[in-house]
Amino acid sequence: MAKATPTDIDDLETADLPEMDLYHPKSFLTKWVFSQDAKVIALQYATTATLIGLVALVLSWLMRLQLGFPDSFDFIAPTDYYQYITMHGMIMVIYLLTALFLGGFGNYLIPLMIGARDMVFPYMNMLSYWIYLAAVLLLAATFFVPGGPTGAGWTLYPPQAILSGTPGREWGIVLMLASLALFIVGFTMGGLNYVITVLQARARGMTLMRMPLTIWGIFVATILALLAFPSLFVSVIMLLFDRLLNTSFFMPHIIEFGEKLQYGGGSPILFQHLFWFFGHPEVYIVAVPAFGIVSDLIATHARKNIFGYRMMVWAILIIGLLSFVVWAHHMYVSGMNPYFGFFFATSTLIIAVPTAIKVYNWVLTLWRGNIHLSLPMLFAIGFIITFINGGITGLFLGNVIVDVPLSDTMFVVAHFHMVMGVAPILVVFGAIYHWFPLITGRWLNQTLGHLHFWITFVGAYAIYFPMHYLGFMGVPRRYYSLGETAFIPDSVADLNKFITLAALVVGAAQIVFIFNLIYSIFWGRKAERNPWKATTLEWQTETMPPRHGNFGPQLPRVYRWAYDYSVPGAKDDFIPQNQPPAPDEEAAPTGAPPS
């Protein structure tokens, strides 16, 4: 933890660099295409992620059409359905959410919010994006290769993932694995950048315990990702070897349709351990940046300091740490040694405590706040509710014996959509409504924004809340169709139709949002500077949107934490982080972390 106090820092030499002419982009190509400006890279990441995310959205419509109207859509065969779920899940989790939170928000916000001119390794940052793009293109290419994309489910469990009973065995799975490997390479370049930038490039006075929670969230999530992705990387490579070179890392003796295969001695469960050692932290890689961002949205729009800042930081750190010792809660019925269940159920439910503390602190920040019901605040509230809901069902699935009837049913689908689909995406939307004026200098259309919020929040709840009950009944997930099943009453078909309609409406609202984005970039109402009256540094730049290099000739100097809202005695209801203490200002108020 940084020991330097503002007084120590006064004695330090300034590290500001003179304006470096060489480094500024000179042409369209270096400004917008091969840009080394973290802000442009952020937009590139965000655009690419959104585009591939739209593919996943369309796939979700197709899946829902099949589930809601199983006999009506002849063009959806079982092969297609299993390909849809796989591509949908993989895109949403990795190529959309991970890329958007870290590559998108991370790149845009880290340098700005900590008072740096850019990432510490701009060239590597640029490479990171281009490798990510290659990974996305490779993934998209699987739609066009013979046999189509893999239908192994996003978990890619062997032996099934590489055997012929699964679609896309020829090309799909190979390209998927290659794409994932590329993604990890690209991510590692970006990730090292984010972490080192946070550690090394903070403005003077920006101690770790003065950082906005957004940065804490992105910082911790990136560390998690750097530690978790290697596990996916090795499993991907080993699976690729099993597929292409006939090794048997994950393959035991197998009789496929009466025919003996050339495999033997491997362990399918080993893959699951490796996969979930990555896969569980991955949930937090998506969730923790959302935690951070939503904290700042709530504080800013409730005009109140985030309640229990230090607890919030510790909770993020503890959650991050614990997220590495809970992975096998995805494997309670996998056939692993059942005694693992005791350990993993305990560790999983322990995580609930710091997580619950975060939720309490968000709602306690609202308590005695001065709440603007602006769009970011509405989305933040939507996040709180869906996250509580999804967190609660996590307590069902984490408690090993309760997981037994529920695992692999629609309950799981409802749970993870609520907690890592809807909740973080609501934060993404809130963040976009919040930072759009900074990024473009214009407002998003607020009427369309409200339409977007209401349909998305209420619609998503209507999709996923009832779905849990299908899981209780025993409806399995990843089922192309239910067919005739004695214990499933006809009313389930009606519920499925309802869910499908809700999903289509929610999907349509996203198209409205995309339209709003594009429209407002060019024709949106002009925004004044620091329109939300926020304290954090990104709003204190010379220009809005900030130019290359972010700040003027002088880097900002930080005097206070990020949450000086409604400070008693202050003139305004916010004091920017870079505003020096007034002569009569008390020393840091109690509870604000000591510098």
Q: Which residues bind ligand HEM (CB under 6 A)?
A: 60, 63-64, 67, 85-86, 88-89, 92-93, 97, 153-155, 413, 417, 420-421, 425, 477-478, 503, 506-507
CA distance 205 to 537: 12
Contact 29, 468 (CB under 8 A): no
CA distance 255 to 261: 6
280 contact, one of Cu ion, other proteins, ligand HEM, none, CB 5-8 Å limit per kind: Cu ion
Report, in Å, the least distance between residue 254 CB and Cu ion.
Answer: 15
Report, in Å, the least distance between residue 522 CB and ligand HEM.
Answer: 27
Judged by beta carbon, residue 85 or residue 290, the one nearer ligand HEM is 85
Residues numbered 213 to 252 that lie near Cu ion (CB under 5 A) are: none
18 contact, one of other proteins, Cu ion, ligand HEM, none, CB 5-8 Å limit per kind: none
385 contact, one of other proteins, ligand HEM, Cu ion, none, CB 5-8 Å limit per kind: other proteins
> DSSP per residue over 92-106, as a string?
IIIIIIIIIIIIIII
Report, in Å, the least distance between residue 262 CB and other proteins.
Answer: 12
CA distance 359 to 365: 10
Judged by beta carbon, residue 243 or residue 280, the one nearer Cu ion is 280
Judged by beta carbon, residue 30 or residue 79, the one nearer other proteins is 79
482 contact, one of ligand HEM, other proteins, Cu ion, none, CB 5-8 Å limit per kind: other proteins
Q: What 3-state class would DSSP assign to 424?
A: helix
Q: What is the three-state SS of 179-232?
A: HHHHHHHHHHHHHHHHHHHHHHCCCCCCCHHHCCHHHHHHHHHHHHHHHHHHHH
Token pair in block for residue 456: 């998305």
63 contact, one of other proteins, Cu ion, ligand HEM, none, CB 5-8 Å limit per kind: ligand HEM
Residue with tokens 């009427």: 447
Report, in Å, the least distance between residue 212 CB and other proteins.
Answer: 14
CA distance 65 to 280: 30
Judged by beta carbon, residue 154 or residue 457, the one nearer ligand HEM is 154
Rounded to the nearest 10°, the torsion over CA 187, 189, 190, 194 is 130
Report, in Å, the least distance between residue 479 CB and other proteins.
Answer: 4
CB atoms within 10 A of CB 72: 9
Q: Which residues pair with 342 in a beta bridge?
A: none
Give the ranges where 474-548 is alpha helix by DSSP (H). 491-523
Judged by beta carbon, residue 406 or residue 506, the one nearer ligand HEM is 506
Judged by beta carbon, residue 104 or residue 308, the one nearer other proteins is 308
335 contact, one of ligand HEM, other proteins, Cu ion, none, CB 5-8 Å limit per kind: other proteins
Judged by beta carbon, residue 18 or residue 258, the one nearer other proteins is 258
481 contact, one of Cu ion, other proteins, ligand HEM, none, CB 5-8 Å limit per kind: other proteins
Q: What 3-state class would DSSP assign to 248?
A: coil
421 contact, one of other proteins, Cu ion, ligand HEM, none, CB 5-8 Å limit per kind: ligand HEM
Q: Is 417 in the site for Cu ion (CB under 5 A)?
A: no
Considering only the stretches 276-284, 352-360, 376-384, 529-537, report the one whose residues sit in contact with Cu ion under the rule CB under 5 A. Answer: 276-284
Judged by beta carbon, residue 219 or residue 332, the one nearer other proteins is 332
Cα separations in angstroms, 315 against 94, 383, 414, 595: 24, 18, 26, 20
Of all residues in the shown chain, the one whose CB is closest to ligand HEM is: 89
Report, in Å, the least distance between residue 30 CB and ligand HEM.
Answer: 34
60 contact, one of Cu ion, other proteins, ligand HEM, none, CB 5-8 Å limit per kind: ligand HEM
Report, in Å, the least distance between residue 377 CB and Cu ion.
Answer: 29
CA distance 479 to 74: 16
Judged by beta carbon, residue 228 or residue 499, the one nearer Cu ion is 228
Contact 342, 336 (CB under 8 A): no
30 contact, one of ligand HEM, Cu ion, other proteins, none, CB 5-8 Å limit per kind: none
Report, in Å, the least distance between residue 492 CB and other proteins.
Answer: 7
147 contact, one of other proteins, Cu ion, ligand HEM, none, CB 5-8 Å limit per kind: none
Q: Where does residue 392 rank: exposed (0-12), middle (13-18), buried (19+ CB within 10 A)? A: middle
Token pair in block for residue 155: 């978990």
Report, in Å, the least distance between residue 330 CB and Cu ion.
Answer: 5
Q: Is 415 in the site for Cu ion (CB under 5 A)?
A: no
Which residues, including other chains, have CB under 8 Å from residue 133's CB and lie 6 or more apart?
A: 44, 48
Q: Is 280 in the site for Cu ion (CB under 5 A)?
A: yes
Q: What angle do CA 102, 103, 108 make, to 5 degrees?
A: 95
Judged by beta carbon, residue 99 or residue 575, the one nearer ligand HEM is 99
Token pair in block for residue 432: 């976009």
Q: What angle do CA 103, 284, 106 make, to 5 degrees?
A: 20
CA distance 161 to 156: 5
Judged by beta carbon, residue 376 or residue 421, the one nearer ligand HEM is 421
Report, in Å, the least distance between residue 507 CB and other proteins.
Answer: 21
Report, in Å, the least distance between residue 280 CB and Cu ion.
Answer: 4
Judged by beta carbon, residue 471 or residue 507, the one nearer other proteins is 471
Contact 470, 550 (CB under 8 A): no
CA distance 36 to 245: 39
Report, in Å, the least distance between residue 65 CB and ligand HEM.
Answer: 9
CB atoms within 10 A of CB 542: 13
Judged by beta carbon, residue 154 or residue 271, the one nearer ligand HEM is 154
CB atoms within 10 A of CB 594: 9
Report, in Å, the least distance between residue 327 CB and Cu ion.
Answer: 6
492 contact, one of Cu ion, other proteins, ligand HEM, none, CB 5-8 Å limit per kind: other proteins
Give the H or E element holding residue 531: none
Sign of CA dihedral 554, 103, 23, 197: positive
The 8-class DSSP code of residue 256 comes to: E
Token pair in block for residue 184: 């990890």
Binding site for Cu ion (CB under 5 A): 280
